[in-house]
Amino acid sequence: MPSPDPARIFAPLAYPMPAGSTRSAGGVPGGAYWQNGADYEIKAAIDPTNRLLSGSEIITYANNSPDALDVLWVQLDQNIYRDGSRGNFVNPQRHAEHTDGDVIESVSIEQDGKSIPVTPVISDARMQVPLPTALEGKGGKIRLKIVWHYTIPGTWGGRTAVSTTRNGDVYEVAQWFPRMAVYDDVRGWDTAPYLGQEFFLDYGDIDYSITVPWNFTVVGSGALLNQAEVLTQTERDRLAQAAKSDERVMIRTEVDIHDPKSHVAQTGTKTWHFRMNNTRDVAFAASPAFLWDAARLNLPPVVVEPGHAPVPRLAMSAYPVEAVGPHQWDRSTAYVKYAIEYFSRRWYPYPWPNAINLGGYGAAMEYPGIVFDGMHDKDPELFWVTAHELGHGWFPMIVGSNERRHAFMDEGFNTFIDTYASDDFNSGEFAPKRDVEFAPATGKPAEDILSVLRDPAAPRLMTPSDLIPESYRHPVTYFKAAYGLKLLREQILGPERFDRAFRRYIAVWAYRHPTPSDFFRLMDSETGEDLSWFWRGWYFNNWGPDYAVKSATPTGEGAAHGLVVTVDNKGWLPLPVTLQVSYTDGTSARLTIPTEAWYLRNEIELTIPGARTPQAVTLDPGHDIPDLNRADNALTLAAPPAQPATPPAH
């Protein structure tokens, strides 16, 4: 890199998304902001003999945009498993085997009590539905019926899978029903192809029923509405006990797994009925092998069905016997309970009935109200992955950013809040967070991020999600994005200003679709800072700080005695930096050099008064910032005072 150019570092930054009537200059939704919505009624069944999931759904789609829509776009995520899919070419290692993907049996428009067949156009993992007549804007609604089936991928499916365990298969079912694409004020229909980089969805109420063999237990997003039809009285009593307990209560035990009478029926099938309100998605898991435990969430009860009384909320875990152990899933529900309560208290209240950790294949994947983790996870790794996947309940399940385009607003924001959860849990039992997602080498982010900042091939945070190579996904999308927020909070703004602004960002964009520009503008406006230099350096480029102590010269005598220190800026990201002067008497003095010091120059002179004899000058003594070259951060001026000799022992 050439010498830093202040005119370029501090130049005005034009954010990619212009402000306007739908998105204000202050980073909040504008007065004309609108958002479409989709409610779903789904009926599905698992055929375990063929590992087939079949279903039908009715989507009630609300067009709140000002535009009339002549077509609808629907996402068919299961088509990524087809041989020849675009996603297969992008990530062939993820899809060693193939299915036929979504087999669409029929598509129709439900109108005036009639069903009007429609011939869709399927393009890879997307389906275009031409409408007989355009759907009017500003509140127009339409009912779309889709009948479909697909083969559930095996463990090679990754995010959605079937895994074999000692007591039966575990079905982890996600991205399982055709879902509406987003039509918004940014791009119109956002039809970025599904290549494996997660999702972008509208919000709505989802009512779904899953029919499974009699000996299966199903856990899923939202609330189970028909407990009396699918659970024994014993199981219901245990759930009621769990709703009053801060310690886990076993709902289904290992003894129950081997006892057919622990189910309400011993033949045929049963249908589990769930509902989740104001959500962008739902997922579920089903198996005859589940142990199931739960404890209460200390959060206010919620209404799960219109016209019904509020119900208590539960932290839950479901897992096979392979996961049992004091270092394994025996502690899972304690981790779930902690994470949901902690994030609710610190950032924004958790809105949904239950939070479930599923121990299965180990995809480490998040969905609203349920996360899929590994049955063999244990100790810190189990805590870290549980907190991280549940943290996605906030980013992007509550704050509905576009994961398919801006991965850092999903993984990075979530990893950021995870780091503080690790520090806080059980007096730091699993602190600091040190895993593949954050500070993997030493647990010290200022040291571990240097390999990324020194790498000319490292992608920028603003790089579209699908263009970030897998080798950089964790170092950049997770680690660098999370550490950037920690630098903003701890080194630039301070916790008080940052926390207030970040909570406001969550609150105003809850159940909405913010862009990076909205986030940048809101943080600028709410914190009272022009942070364009930071956004430009950390997000749009891969710049880092690099300071040097050039010289330190004693000056003056008597009351004018002091030290003149010359500091050079060699880096393109001029973070605030601490300068420490250590004295021969064992004392020290510190001052913070603000970013503004480098507006017009790359070298500054600082006069530090004091009659003490200086011993050393050090920049960033606590290694609080990721200085690219620490070799020139310190200058020794005097030898340390001689220590008195230790008298001989008698």
State yes or no: pLDDT of 642 exceeds 90.
no
- Asked if residue 640 has pLDDT above 80, the reply is no
Residue 559 pLDDT: 67
pLDDT for residue 262 is more than 90: yes
Mean pLDDT within 484-498 = 98
Amino acid code (one letter) for 558:
G
> Which contacts (CB < 8 Å, 24+ apart) does range 227-233 have?
229/264, 229/270, 229/271, 229/273, 230/264, 230/270, 230/271, 230/272, 231/264, 232/262, 232/263, 232/264
Token pair 């156009």 is found at 121
| Confidence category of residue 560, pLDDT binned at 50, 70, 90 | confident
Q: How far is CA 165 from the centre of its chain?
A: 29
Tens digit of pLDDT for each residue in 433-453? Answer: 999 999 999 999 999 999 999
Q: Are 604 and 577 in contact (CB under 8 A)?
A: no
Residue 264 to residues 170, 177, 268, 274, 546, Cα–Cα distance (Å): 20, 28, 11, 18, 67
Token pair listed for 577: 């930096």
* Distance from C-alpha of 549 to C-alpha of 615, rounded to nearest angstrom: 14
Mean of pLDDT over the chain: 96
Cα separation, 19 vs 29, in Å, equals 10
> What pLDDT is attached to residue 647?
65
Q: What is the pLDDT of residue 649?
A: 64
Q: Per-residue pLDDT tens for 207-224?
A: 999 999 999 999 999 999
Q: How far apart are CA 458 and CA 558, in angstroms?
A: 53
pLDDT of res. 424 = 97
- Among 242-246, 466-470, 522-526, the range scoring the smallest mean pLDDT is 466-470
What is the average per-residue pLDDT within 247-264?
97
* pLDDT mean over 589-599: 97
User: For the residues 98-110, what does the mean pLDDT come to?
Assistant: 96
Residues 141, 61 contacting (CB under 8 angstroms) = yes
Does residue 175 have a pLDDT over 90? Answer: yes
| Burial class of residue 595 (count of CB atoms within 10 Å of its CB; 0-12, 13-18, 19+) | buried
pLDDT value at position 32? 98
Question: Which pLDDT score is estimated for 157?
Answer: 85
Peptide bond before residue 312 is cis, with ω within 30 degrees of 0: no
pLDDT of 610: 85
Q: What is the pLDDT of residues 51-93, one digit of tens each?
A: 999 999 999 999 999 999 999 999 999 999 999 999 988 887 7
Q: What residues does CATH 2.60.40.10 cover in the chain? A: 547-636
Which letter, b or e, does each residue of 324-347 get, where b requires 16 or more Cβ atoms within 10 Å of its Cβ?
Answer: eeeebbbbbbbbbbbbbbbbbeeb
* Residue 140: predicted pLDDT: 97
Give me the mean pLDDT over the 511-533 stretch. Answer: 98
Give the mean pLDDT of 287-292.
Answer: 98
CB 360 within 8 A of CB 161: yes
What whole-number distance in Å separates Cα of residue 579 and Cα of residue 564?
A: 12
How far apart, in whole angstroms, are the C-alpha atoms of residue 109 and residue 602? 66
Q: Is the pLDDT of residue 645 over 80?
A: no
Joined together, the tokens standing for residue 528 give: 């009272």
The class (CATH top level) of 34-162+173-195 is mainly beta
CATH code for the domain defined by 547-636:
2.60.40.10
d(CA 313, CA 298): 8
Q: Is pLDDT of 376 > 80?
A: yes
- At 646, is the pLDDT very low, low, confident or very high (cuts 50, 70, 90)? low
Percentage of the chain with pLDDT > 70?
98
Q: What pLDDT, in 10s, does the model give residues 417-435?
A: 999 999 999 999 999 999 9
**Residue 451: exposed, middle, or buried by beta-carbon count in 10 A (0-12, 13-18, 19+)?**
exposed
CB 383 within 8 A of CB 419: no
What are the tens digits of pLDDT across the range 270-284? 999 999 999 999 999
> Distance between CA 649 and CA 168 in Å, rounded?
72
Give the per-residue pLDDT at 568: 98
CB atoms under 10 Å from CB of 45, counted, come to: 16
> Cα separation of 132 and 148, whole Å?
21
**pLDDT confidence band for 113 (50 / 70 / 90):** confident
Give me the pLDDT at residue 638, please.
75
